[in-house]
Structure 1
């Protein structure tokens, strides 16, 4: 997927029409059939004549009760900002896939996947086809580990295969992951047989072979319950935002820094200001990504994977998915 040309004007028009019509943004009452993962083969991010240097970006959005604000903000205001910021930084051919994550121990639709897309209309379609179930099991954990499993097992990226460039996975959440990818859940949701559960460290390692991995905590109040556990797994790829509305600007800034499109935080701040972000939001974004930016040496060509996921996936994991 990923054909067609992105138009910021078209995307802004979609958002404007939505604001004036009063129509319900997320109208799904169950998992959309095209987002159901059962029997899924691959989601593909492909180069094309219009996009010769595609870059795969996955937003895995927690859609449980406490986290619906981020999908709503994306669909009603911020997604065009994300694309405009990437364009301003010189990231020419981003392709976005939206994934919705819930709690596989309790929810009806804990795993939903769109397609990689390049056009405003199709990005918006997959995002708003997501079923915001608003559930969660009350265990203090959500099924984020399934996001790592799915990108490792079920995506195929031209940016990686042709150019050796990893894609990006941004998970939004405010809970802990479960300790392992459950083979029973994979069988029920995806229709695949695993010989055993996959510990989350191994799922993360497998995903990190193809993606730069980030966990975005929506605000400072919610960081207390999950930050420490996530930092043990992803280090400074855990981003503590000050407001959920900053998710797009934070993600765009991370891509720009990692790709070398912005040399440092000063360049990030200038790009955000040029994009008409209010000064207080620019400052909040810079504070949120500061620890990650400190990891990056602009003169280095080292691949900046999380320390806990920098090793290769176990051989048995790679053989399983060969």
Structure 2
């Protein structure tokens, strides 16, 4: 049995969850600018898509994104091993196996959260992926993102047994979405909100298995919550809070790692060279700015910022000047003390 390489502890403190339709390469470049020390994750990509699909699109990766992980979906060890090796050779710094997604599509394909009930299959998949990555030009770590259980599984010992069996196969780092996945009766959105959170299970796992690296995920809404988790586990992974309020990432990165807190406008203007380079390659502005809409969340002018970008970015010829116009209008809201706050924010 081959153990996967360890990940530097500092790289695990802050991370951004893999989110379908959101954490593409454009999003990750923006998040890297906000949080230089965060670990970033791709959207989930099925192993078959990596092997047979458009790798230039599915595995798109800008050098500034590192450290960045590729999250794979699937349940066939041989295919996952092949996809893991492809991902490692494409430049990703980690290959993560999804054992937590509860959607109907993944249930039909017998992967995602379904795998919580098949620890032997997950262990076999991880062992094959670890071996494949060890044989690649870049021996990168193989990790697992999981739930606490499925449906009515409320037995901590069963959860720990799943972790132990997978760890025995060579996995050393687990991202624990600290709630169950309901495979029947709840939508993916409801599965992120309805099943109760049990952070204490992740904390207990770290106490009982101190040699494992444990990251907690699920329901982390603000900086205070994220910081509190660091007293118990190796890191906090933010999902929708980081996407809808990306400036939160910047504040956490500065608070946890040091550096100067920069303004939202300053950070956004630092993205201009990337945006213009992408436009020159034929990328439409709308594909980039959709990830920027929350930058002024809960700030005066935030609604105007979103409105200008969302309405203008799809128009032919839209370019960086639209972003500057959004910043100028937002700045006018923020500099006018007489403007009612309700008129300026979402």
TM interval, short-chain normalised? 0.3 to 0.5
TM-score, scaled relative to structure 2: 0.31
**Looking at both structures, which has the greater relative contact order when contacts are Cα pairs under 8 Å and sequence separation is at least 6?**
1
Larger radius of gyration between Structure 1 and Structure 2: 2
